[in-house]
Chains A and B, each alone.
Chain A
Amino acid sequence: MIEVSDGAAIPRRKDAGLFSAWRISFAGAILILVYLAVSQPDPYYEILRFIPDGILVTFQVTICSIFFALILGLITGLGRISRNRIVNSAASIYVEVVRGIPLLVQLFYIYYALGRFVRLPDMVAAVIAMSICYGAYMGEVFRAGIESIHKGQTEAARSLGFNQAQTMRYVIIPQAWRTILPPVGNEFIALLKDTSLVSILAVADILRRGREFAAESFAYFETYTVIALVYLIITLILSKLVSHLEERYNHYGPG
């Protein structure tokens, strides 16, 4: 006979993570940054003082883009499951085309190629390109989330008298949100990292600010070390936030 304990000896997952990869990376990045800034204020502290404006811009681009990408994604996701052939094909073609073109090329296209017809401000062009690109990815995330909800939910709502749109709004989307949240969180982080591409336009994001600093000081090694660490710290914080949200929405019910 095997004696079964009540599980008290089994460490909980959270305790086991004291030396998790996340903690090591996060603490390591912070420590290195602080050490460098204190031990060699010139140039590290100077770089750190120069970059924050860029962090703000990076966040602006990220948040504006994610906002439009979510709207575009929801529309695309609904289009992809639509039984209307025209709507469905339009959404599918959009996804196929956008996924087949590198983001950098899309950025160039909207800024330079279309610049022949309309000269968009850098920031606007950046947000448009990021939104269009990530809208397609979000569309697929939304589609998968909506399709993961059991058909019985739609039938129950429709049998009560809800029309298709009301069924989506009150019954399907609130439930699909749970499935959608983790991948949306990941897309959000991926988008933040990809905003570094907009530095090739004249958008003064983190990377752009770094390039400016490096060009003047010739401190390429130092500058890009700081830039890498700053991106790392931001994405690590975000990924922690996303996994907290995931846990919170992981079940229905009190608590």
Chain B
Amino acid sequence: MAQVDPIIVMESVCKFFGSLRALNNVSMSVQSGEKVVIIGPSGSGKSTLLRTINRLEEIDSGRIIVNGFDLHDRRNDINKIRMEVGMVFQSFNLFPHKTVLQNLTLAPMKLKKLSRGEAESVAQELLEKVGIQDKAAAYPSQLSGGQQQRVAIARALAMNPKIMLFDEPTSALDPEMIGEVLDVMVNLAREGMTMVVVTHEMGFAREVADRVVFMDIGEILEEAPPGQFFQECSHPRAQRFLSQIL
């Protein structure tokens, strides 16, 4: 079956925090293999939008379909859907009581019932891919921020997901460590992973994104390929945002 249908579809999604409208009638879709970068000022709802895609954030109305499954259909097992959707957090959220290797093998062993040997060989491969194979036995607290985030990416990849979500993956890092994490993400993009990335790294957006989505006050105000977006974006708020950060 050819992937003609988009892998993520959001239809008129609304989300409130109390009386604050975090997402206002947002509709968006992502094709399989597409890289979408979401940008916008803080408080614009971009992280909230990302977190609704694996239902870490519940929505108040609308519909979200991931991988063909409606997230809010009670018949669908949200845990099964989440196994196909990797997520990387701003604050890494590695399991501090587990070694790097155990961080990577925990979910595959418990959820996919891989044997320890299988899970560890997958984990070793992934650690090599993110360039920290020599830290397999270390604990997260012994790693730098950049290394921790690369482990977090590898941990998400260990479940062999179809989609990867990145929630400001470099915002908590010291400047000199941002590059190593972005490199891993660029490589991942080249391999054809479907990626939705919330970030302030405009260089990354330019290089990798198929589409840049600009959000403010809970709405998508502009959507365009990066070349077009950065050169001739028309929305005044997007222009103002770009002039502030570029």
Contact = CB atoms under 8 A, between A and B. Distances in A.
Interface of B: 54, 56, 79-80, 82-83, 85-87, 89, 91, 93-97, 106-107, 110-111, 139-142, 152, 155-156, 159
Contacts, number: 66
B139 A252 contact: yes
Given A170-B110, A253-B139, A253-B142, A160 B93 contact: no
Given A159-B82, A159-B85, A161-B80, A170 B106 contact: yes
B141 A163 contact: no
A158 interface: yes
Contact of A174 (B83, B97, B142): B97
14 contacts: A152-B89, A160-B155, A161-B79, A161-B80, A161-B83, A161-B111, A162-B79, A163-B79, A170-B106, A171-B95, A174-B97, A175-B96, A252-B139, A253-B141
A40 interface: no
Secondary structure of the A contact surface, majority rule? helix
B93 A155 contact: yes
A69 B86 CA distance: 39
B107 A152 contact: no
A162 B54 CA distance: 13
A156 B90 CA distance: 11
A114 B14 CA distance: 56
Contacts of A166: 110-111
Contacts of B85: 159
B111 to A, nearest CB: 5
Contact of B96 (A157, A161, A252): A252
A250 interface: no
Interface residues of A, number: 21
A108 to B, nearest CB: 43
A171 B141 CA distance: 16
Given A174-B97, A252-B139, A152 B91 contact: yes
Interface centre among B82, B87, B93, B111 (most CB of A within 10 A): B93
A148 interface: no
A156 B93 contact: yes
Nearest to B95: A171
B99 to A, nearest CB: 9
A248 B87 CA distance: 33
Interface of A: 150, 152-153, 155-163, 166, 170-171, 174-175, 251-254
Contacts of B95: 153, 156-157, 171, 175
B56 A159 contact: yes
B89 A162 contact: no
A159 B110 contact: no
Contact of B93 (A153, A163, A254): A153
Nearest to A171: B95
A246 B62 CA distance: 50
Contacts of A153: 93, 95
Contacts of B152: 156
A-B complex: 7 closest residue pairs judged by Cβ atoms: A161-B83, A156-B93, A159-B87, A152-B93, A160-B107, A253-B139, A161-B82
A245 to B, nearest CB: 16
A152 B54 CA distance: 15
A135 to B, nearest CB: 26
B54 A159 contact: yes
B89 A155 contact: yes
Interface centre among A156, A157, A161, A174 (most CB of B within 10 A): A161
A160 B154 CA distance: 12
A155 B56 contact: yes
A118 B141 CA distance: 55
A54 to B, nearest CB: 40
A164 to B, nearest CB: 9
Contact of A161 (B94, B97, B141, B159): B159
A153 B106 CA distance: 14
B142 A160 contact: no
A252 B89 contact: no
A6 to B, nearest CB: 24
A175 B110 contact: no
A51 B140 CA distance: 51
Contacts of B87: 155-156, 159
Contacts of B83: 160-161
A252 B106 contact: no
A175 B97 contact: yes
Nearest to B81: A161
Nearest to A249: B97
Contacts of A159: 54, 56, 82, 85-87, 156
